[in-house]
Amino acid sequence: MSRKVAIVALGCPKNDVDSEIMLGQMKTYGYELVTDASQADAVIVNTCAFIKSAQEEAISAILTAAGHKKEGTLKCLVVSGCMAERFKGDIIGQMPEVDAIIGTGSIDRTADIIDGLLDGTLEEHVFCASPDSTAYLEEPRILSDSRPFKYLKIAEGCSNRCTYCVIPSLRGDFRSRSVENILKEAAILVRSGARELILIAQDVTRYGTDLAGAPQLVPLIRALSGLDGQFGIRLLYCYPELVDDALIQEFKVNPKLMPYLDLPVQHFSDSVLKRMNRRGDSKLIRTLLERLRAEVPAITLRTSYITGFPGETAEDFDVLKRFVAEGLFQHVGVFDYSKEQGTPAGRMKEQVPVRIRKQRRDELLAIQKENVARWNASRVGGTYDTIIEGVSDDGLFYVGRTAAEAPDIDPVVFITSEEPLEIGSVVPVRFLCVDGYDMVGQAMKQD
């Protein structure tokens, strides 16, 4: 009988891609892939460690999997990903149920390690090679779901050195995949039914700087656009200072490049941005937003903010509040600052009390809620092309997204239809009303 393996994937879409690559390795080695950890011989918990809440989620998942070793058939528990890389000694020392650690530079060894554990031939328990390659991204992925979009990781690591972030120490410096390898994977994803390719990396706009000495995102987008098939291209994790004229023009002329841009600006006070070691300032951010609105009027913008960063004064926060109230971004994520061990920000004086960090977060979310209400109200009565992704939990609606919504992080559209709709199809939907952050619409009959 074949051995069975399950994976618990935590964290961001970049981590999801890594999980699918590990599943691909296991299948190549003849393992049966199962979704129920209690029925597996081996379980991989692929972790995130960006902020404390992610670490807590990972610990809970590890302990749940450890319970299966006592109650079920589970013989081997492996922890991988960012938390494995960051806290390898602590995990091995304090969680005896964990059989091996696979760091971010050893993903390509996953199947070998689990084979050795199950065969009893493995003597080591910690595998954390230097994360300095993208070779593992060239291995086949096992797609974990049939949703009509797929994430496409175009680079690994980060060289930005934001003072609050641990990612460079866990993932290494920024390194791009080759265009040829990205195109090969993209073609496979489109053939598998992807109607949307979502380009991801720690910094998508930096793509190619390590290969050619200058950003190569636009040439990559053009190469991807030349692939056969009906699909769109969406960009996540784009840094404002690297959104250049070429990219703005590409939005204007390339019908496959979806009019959506994720720009994590993090703050709008210049003093806070400087302490964060962000390369752009408030003037750069505002100038870019004005250009985007003028040249790509239909574009939808997303961003994220951090409240309570060390040294953030009431005046700094007022600057940010006034900026958020302008409603320049349709989608916003707000995070209260998480003090992370080993980061420059964690060593800064003038740490803002947790209570104030959270209070400021809630204030921004309340302001953005009003922005969203106005934007959604302006969409009522309009008709928008909408991709059908599934059915609501209550079975009463189809669920979809327009070009203005990215999956997993943005709101959705609930859709009624007089006729059955095919998952993955794109249909015109007339927006009838607002349901909180989401929209409710009716599919229009097509000739």
The answer to whether the CB of 167 falls within 8 A of the CB of 45 is no
pLDDT category of residue 32 using cuts at 50, 70 and 90 = very high
Share of residues in the chain with pLDDT > 90 (%): 84
Q: What does the pLDDT average to over 215-231?
A: 96
Domains detected in the chain = 4-127 (3.40.50.12160), 135-139+146-379 (3.80.30.20), 383-443 (2.40.50.140)
Please say if the pLDDT value at position 71 is more than 80: no
At residue 255, the 3 state secondary structure works out as coil
The per-residue pLDDT for 188 is 96
pLDDT category of residue 236 using cuts at 50, 70 and 90 = very high
Please say if the pLDDT value at position 447 is more than 70: no
pLDDT category of residue 275 using cuts at 50, 70 and 90 = very high
Distance, in Å, from the CA atom of 306 to the CA atom of 352, rounded to the nearest integer, reads 12
pLDDT category of residue 53 using cuts at 50, 70 and 90 = confident
Distance, in Å, from the CA atom of 12 to the CA atom of 48, rounded to the nearest integer, reads 8
Q: What is the DSSP letter of 353?
A: P
What rounded mean pLDDT belongs to the chain?
94
Pairing mode of beta strands 100-102, 76-81: parallel
Pairing mode of beta strands 155-156, 150-153: unpaired
Please say if the pLDDT value at position 14 is more than 70: yes
Neighbours of 423 (CB within 10 A): 16
Please say if the pLDDT value at position 344 is more than 90: yes
Query: Exposed/middle/buried for 105, CB within 10 Å: 0-12, 13-18, 19+?
Result: buried
The region of weakest confidence among 92-96, 176-180, 346-350 is 92-96
Q: What does the pLDDT average to over 196-211?
A: 96
Q: How far is CA 414 from each of CA 159, 289, 384, rounded to the nearest angstrom? A: 40, 30, 13
Contact partners, residue 27, CB within 8 Å, separation at least 6:
33, 142
The per-residue pLDDT for 325 is 97
Please say if the pLDDT value at position 72 is more than 80: no
Q: What digits encode the pLDDT tens for the residues 85-125?
A: 999 888 888 888 999 999 999 999 999 999 999 998 988 89
pLDDT category of residue 422 using cuts at 50, 70 and 90 = very high
- b/e code 382-408 from CB counts within 10 Å (16+ = b): eebebbbbbeeeeeebbbbbbbbbbbe
Please say if the pLDDT value at position 50 is more than 80: no
Contact partners, residue 82, CB within 8 Å, separation at least 6:
11, 15, 47, 48, 49, 50, 104, 166, 167, 170, 171
Q: What is the DSSP letter of 42?
A: E
